[in-house]
Structure 1
Amino acid sequence: MSLKWIDTLDIVLDLDEKHPDVDPQYIRFTDLHQWVCDLEEFDDDPEKSSEQILEAIQMTWIDEKD
């Protein structure tokens, strides 16, 4: 399975597994972007990201942590 920027929940689940001690509320978008691109399953153009996409990932990750 390959992940695209639109696969928010799947990205969040992988990020949470890879970075369980991170509080997503305080993550910088530059770090978040890099972490998503570094996911083994991620297969999308890094340039297709936007602040809106990263914010959606961050908010979903915050919700998953609660």
Structure 2
Amino acid sequence: MRWTDVYDIAAGLEELHPEADVVNLRFTDLHKWVLALPGFADHPDRSNEKILEAIQAAWIEERA
């Protein structure tokens, strides 16, 4: 997985963190959780606020 795989990341995060308050999640926590996902293999510095927002939105959609 890479930073651009927002839907795969969202599904993985939902599986590992089903109790998370996704709407009020800090991006620092989101960044850390993405890096810890099994199968994630991208450079930590390649993320930015726009990517993290897209992951958060996909995660919210995943829960709907």
TM category (shorter chain) comes to over 0.9
Alpha-carbon shift at residue 23 of structure 1 (Å): 2.1
State which of 56, 59, 66 in structure 1 corresponds to 2:57: 59
Q: Deviations over 1:27-65 (max 9, x none)?
A: 000000000001111000000000000000001111111
Separation of aligned partners in 1, 2:10 and 2:47:
15
TM-score (normalizing by structure 2): 0.96
Please, which runs of 5 or more residues in structure 1 have no aligned partner?
Answer: none
TM-score (normalizing by structure 1): 0.93
Q: Percent identity over the alignment?
A: 50
Alignment size in residue pairs: 64
Q: Deviations over 1:8-29 (max 9, x none)?
A: 0000000000001112101000
CA RMSD across the alignment: 0.6
Q: Counterparts in 2 of 1:1-66, with a 5 A limit?
A: 3-66=1-64
Please, which runs of 5 or more residues in structure 2 have no aligned partner?
Answer: none
Higher helix share: 1
Q: Return structure 1 stretches of 4+ with deviation > 3 angstroms.
A: none
Give the AA of the match of 1:10: D
